[in-house]
Amino acid sequence: MKNLHNALQLKQLYLLKQMGYSYTDIAPSDLENEPTELPDNLEELRKFVENCHLCDLSKSRHKVVFGEGDPHAKLMFVGEGPGATEDSTGRPFVGRAGELLTKMIEKVLYLSRSQVYIANIVKCRPPRNRVPTPTEALTCRPYLLRQIELIQPRIIVTLGATAYRYLTNDESPIGRVRGQVIHTENYLLVPTFHPSYLLRNPSAKKEAYHDLLTVKDLYEKYK
Ligand code: SF4
């Protein structure tokens, strides 16, 4: 797990910086003793992530929001990060944006939430719902990548710019890429708007509806 190893290395460098070091030519110690392999089943991974303090978001979170749904789902949704309701309940997409996502899943895809898997780029709530910093997103990303490896979805829908950016390393504006079907090695990726954006901009719901129809066609084909 090279990404997790890098995240651990970064964490140790931050610690050295906080202790007053401005430069070190000493290789960060004890990395060999850190568990750089992530668990190979979802429940063990959940326990691992629930004890994570790798980034600053751990300081202000109430609950880690790991993700939920069918562990063998063919369709997975990836959002940006937990909000206030998610932080207090430990469940993803259960606030107002979550209600809209649930409606989209039920009314357009004719599926229930328990038939799909829902997760986020960062598992802890950024204060005041700000966008996660690149350090936070990249530190947390190995957990999402491991979830994807274990669940093996056929289709991933990224919700909003942050989810798309950190899953693909592509910084294209979401308005340009939404609705496209992107073929990756292991799954098809369809970016669309984040439900929070749709709540603020109801006129974009029409485009999101068309994106979901694309997802529905793919799901029928690959389920
Ligand atoms: S956001 Fe991710 S990396 Fe940061 S503390 Fe939470 S689980 Fe760990």
One domain for residues 93 and 27: no
Please give the chain's pLDDT, 223 residues, in tens.
555 666 666 666 555 555 555 544 444 444 444 446 899 999 999 999 999 999 999 999 999 999 999 999 999 999 999 999 999 999 999 999 999 999 999 999 999 999 999 999 999 999 999 999 999 999 999 999 999 999 999 999 999 999 999 999 999 999 999 999 999 999 999 999 999 999 999 999 999 999 999 999 999 998 7
| Distance in angstroms (rounded) separating the CA atoms of residues 144 and 136 | 13
Contact (CB, 8 A) for 30 and 9: no
Ligand 1: which of 9, 136, 144, 147 to mutate, judged by most atoms within 8 Å of the beta carbon?
Answer: 136
CA torsion, points 56, 64, 91, 69, in degrees to nearest 10?
110
Q: What is the pTM of this model?
A: 0.87
Task: Say yes or no: 20 and 61 in one domain.
Answer: no
Let me know whether 5 and 54 are in one domain. no
Q: Which atom of ligand 1 is nearest to the CA of 7?
A: 3
32 and 46: one domain?
no
- What span, in angstroms and rounded, lies between the C-alpha atoms of 121 and 5? 18
103 & 167 share domain: yes
State the residue range of the domain holding 69.
39-222
Looking at the structure, tell me whether residues 11 and 69 fall in a common domain.
no
Instruction: Please tell me the total count of domains within the chain.
Output: 2
Same domain for 8 and 43, yes or no, is no
Same structural domain, 5 and 84: no
**In a shared domain, residues 12 and 104:** no
Residues whose CB is less than 8 angstroms from the CB of residue 16 and which lie 6 or more positions away in sequence, other chains included: 24, 28
Same domain, 29 and 79: no
- Strand bridging mode 117-120 / 75-79: parallel
> Each residue of 40-52: pLDDT tens digit?
999 999 999 999 9
Read off the CATH number of the domain in which 143 is found: 3.40.470.10
Same domain? 17 vs 66? no
Ligand 1 atom index nearest CA of 53 = 5
Whether 83 and 98 share a structural domain: yes
DSSP state, 137?
H
Q: Choose which residue among 53, 139, 144, 146 to substitute to test ligand 1 binding: the one with the highest number of ligand atoms within 8 A of its C-beta.
A: 139
Distance (Å) from CA 143 to ligand 1 centroid = 9
